[in-house]
Structure 1
Amino acid sequence: MTTSPDHSESPDFPGSNPDAGHAAGPSAGSSHSPVDSARSLLTDLGRGVFWVVLLRGILAVLFGLLIFIAPDAVAVVAGIWIGAWLVVDGILTIVNANTARKQGLPWGWELTTGIVYIIAGIAIFIAPLAFAVASGIFILWLMAFGMLVRGIFTLASKSFRGWSKLLGVLDIIFAIIVMIAVFTSPTTALVALLWIIGIYVIVFGIFLIVMAFMARSQAKRAMNG
């Protein structure tokens, strides 16, 4: 019976070279340690998040300023975008209805919905500003009714007391003011709504910009620490 040679004891076998571990040492020492790699990764992520948040904040501020400078243009662009979305969604809905018809599934209501979407989208394309005005008035009426209902329920509920009752009264008062404004002068009410939206968007954009710089400074302190 012949025995196979023990390669672990052979001088030609790489594992038996006593200097192998020493040769691998310098190359291992030249690579980054896990801590350095983690810091580098966190730095890259921090930079990416910083620029994303900063860009969102800048765009929000610019959009808010645009609402103040050219509200008509913003309304037209918003109407065109909504119209395009309805047309595309209507076409996809019709395609889906046709697929359901071929598979023997109910498709009538889906086809009708797709056609209505396309007609509404084309109508908005033709008169985007009128659509924006009508949508704004509708939103104001919804806001007014929402505040009115909330105020009535706050006053009628026994779980609300003290300052909560006062907030309910304020909801009712503001709801009545909004209703009167929309009914007597819808244009003025829409301008006020645009101002509110513009101020909110600008404040939100500034908040994002500040948060981006704060997050970057905290990330730098964490990396240096």
Structure 2
Amino acid sequence: MMNRPVLSALPPGLSSLSAHWGWLLLRGIVAIVFGVLAFLWPDLTLATLVIVWGAYAVVDGAFALVYGIGGAGNRRWMYVLVGLTGILAGLAALFWPGTAVIVLVMIIGYWAFIVGVFEIIYAIQYRRAQAHPWLIGLSGCLSVVIGLLIVMCVYPVGVLSVVWLIGSYAIVYGILMTLAAIQLRRFQRRLTA
């Protein structure tokens, strides 16, 4: 006999979140594309990478913001905060790409750290959901580690190393988001069955 989630034991908002699994999938795909672009153009300057990342952060932040505003449950504020953080960091990268590349790389690091902390909080809150929290928690841990690495090590490493670090992070993060979306889709199918 198949284990089915007990609807009354679900954390509030998870059923509405599972209905929006496509947003999570799109975030994952965009992150993977960004990471692959960083590797396809190894001679890409850090300033250009920051511009490409800025566009990604704005799009990713917009997805999180739309879900936070339109979602259900009492945890919407986390998505709104993650969305606003991504949009502001992305806009900073787009409007000031050449003025202080190191500062913008630091913004990427802080953004990854903040997103990671909120993903860990999310994973802890939804840990009994039997859906996808461990993937979100894992992506949160990855984001925190990468964010700290970028913030603490941006000065001694070369430009190419930073590009590869950010590209690798984006690919792994995108894969984890895609897997989480697939888990949410399966969870939604079980809820509607």
Bigger relative CO (Cα 8 Å, ≥ 6 apart): 2
Highest Rg: 1 or 2?
1
**Higher share in helix:** 1
TM-score (norm 2): 0.38
TM-score (norm 1): 0.34
